[in-house]
Amino acid sequence: MSFGVVDLKIICLNLIKNVMEKFMLIVREDLARIGGLTVKDRFSEGPDMTGWVQSLIASGNYISGEPLAIKGRYVTKHGVQADGPFIEAKEGLSGYDLIWAENIEQATAIAQSCPMVMAGFAIREVRPVQPFPGN
């Protein structure tokens, strides 16, 4: 039996899913501070995240992640309740990363190693992803 590269990647991902748990590392920052920055300044002011993300990719822990814009909307069953930016709140969601980790302790250690956390620019909320029943 021979396997192609794609087959081996699928097998490896299935093995990871059976051993590892998925976690969301939610980024919380001072929205008033980052709301006053240009996009260029927002991403050049703080510590470089590239090396951190690359190390998570190399270790097989990284799934995906992106920063969030400050502008947005609150939506309820009654419709749109407010348009953003939401800088009246001191701290708010500014991004996320999805990772694989063996347990919440490992996920927490990964979050603590984030350069944004270590420099005091952000905090990370670590949340296990709850799979839908049957998945």
86 is a domain residue: yes
Tokens describing residue 85:
């930016």
2 is a domain residue: no
11 is a domain residue: no
Q: How far apart are CA 68 and CA 62, in angstroms?
A: 18
113 is a domain residue: yes
DSSP string computed for 67-119: E--S--EEEETTEEEEES--TTSSEEEEEEEEEEESSHHHHHHHHHT-HHHHT
User: How many distinct structural domains can be found in the chain?
Assistant: 1
pLDDT tens for each residue of 27-46:
999 888 888 888 888 887 67
CATH code for position 116: 3.30.70.1060
Tokens describing residue 59:
């270790």
Q: Which domain holds residue 64?
A: 20-128
pLDDT tens for each residue of 87-131:
456 788 999 999 999 999 999 999 999 999 999 999 999 999 998
